[in-house]
């Protein structure tokens, strides 16, 4: 880990799913600390618990037991309204499939997150425009997703994740559908955003290059941390 201040602490995290008479233990007592401003890669085979961990970090799901703390605040104990506010203010999500709304322009897709969080339309659109310029899409603001390339759509998704100035961005296979050149461009963008905007990134990936470039890589095997190594940064 870098020498940045500790930010997220996961302690003894257990997640068990019930399927009829079967109990499937996806995470089994996982403990992990993430530094502020760190780019952390989560790797492992399919079914190792990577996406489940990401969902628990972002408050999209609740653990069977254990805790997830943001600067000492246990989000697993929050009520529904508090959790919704936490996700809106603190966390940005990027997924393998961009999930953009095809009827909206790039600008509208980014701005809507700000408006949902309560920002006036003009302010949300100004922030969306700023972010889209930051990710190199100043010439594509009025284009709808079908008119954008795969890499451009994922850049819009990154901008959307940042619209409310979250302190952590959780990305689940953000370049899994992209070719090598486009993937590398998105990776460059993540590091550029980290340096300029200060976000923490936790990225589930099968991309070896992305994992090696990260500040640290954590490997999950059967719901447990099998290894953690420093990256090239």
Instruction: Specify the CATH number for the domain of residue 55.
Output: 3.40.50.300
Please classify residue 39 by burial: count the beta carbons closer than 10 Å to its beta carbon, then call 0-12 exposed, 13-18 middle and 19+ buried. buried
Domain contains 134: yes
Domain contains 16: no
Domain contains 93: yes
Domain contains 14: no
Domain contains 29: no
Give the model's pLDDT for residue 123.
94
Task: Name residue, tokens 């959307």.
Answer: 160
Domain contains 25: no
Helices (H), 77-225: 80-90, 106-116, 121-134, 150-162, 180-197, 208-213
* Number of domain units in the chain: 1
Give the model's pLDDT for residue 3.
44
d(CA 55, CA 58): 5
Domain contains 6: no
Intervals of the chain under pLDDT 50:
1-5, 232-233
Give the model's pLDDT for residue 230.
65
Give the model's pLDDT for residue 23.
83
Q: Which domain holds residue 195?
A: 38-63+80-230
Domain contains 152: yes
């Amino acid at each position: 880990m870098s020498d940045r201040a500790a930010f997220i602490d996961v302690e003894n995290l257990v997640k068990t799913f019930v399927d009829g008479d079967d109990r499937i233990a996806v995470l089994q007592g996982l403990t992990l600390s993430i530094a502020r401003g760190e780019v952390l890669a989560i790797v492992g085979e399919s079914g190792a618990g990577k996406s489940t961990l990401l969902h628990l970090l972002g408050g999209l799901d609740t653990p069977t037991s254990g805790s997830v703390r943001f600067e000492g605040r246990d989000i697993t104990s929050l009520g529904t309204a508090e959790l919704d506010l936490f996700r809106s203010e603190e966390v940005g999500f990027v997924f393998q499939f961009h999930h953009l709304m095809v009827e909206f322009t790039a600008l509208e897709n980014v701005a809507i997150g700000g408006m949902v969080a309560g920002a006036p339309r003009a302010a949300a659109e100004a922030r969306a425009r700023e972010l889209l310029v930051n990710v190199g899409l100043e010439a594509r603001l009025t284009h709808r997703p079908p008119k954008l390339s795969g890499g451009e759509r994922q850049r819009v998704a990154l901008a959307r994740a940042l619209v409310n100035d979250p302190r952590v961005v959780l990305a689940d296979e953000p370049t899994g559908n992209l070719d090598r050149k486009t993937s590398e461009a998105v990776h460059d963008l993540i590091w550029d955003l980290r340096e300029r905007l200060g976000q923490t990134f936790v990225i589930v990936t099968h991309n070896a290059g992305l994992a090696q470039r990260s500040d640290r890589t954590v490997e999950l095997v059967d719901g447990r941390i099998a290894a953690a190594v420093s990256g090239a940064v």
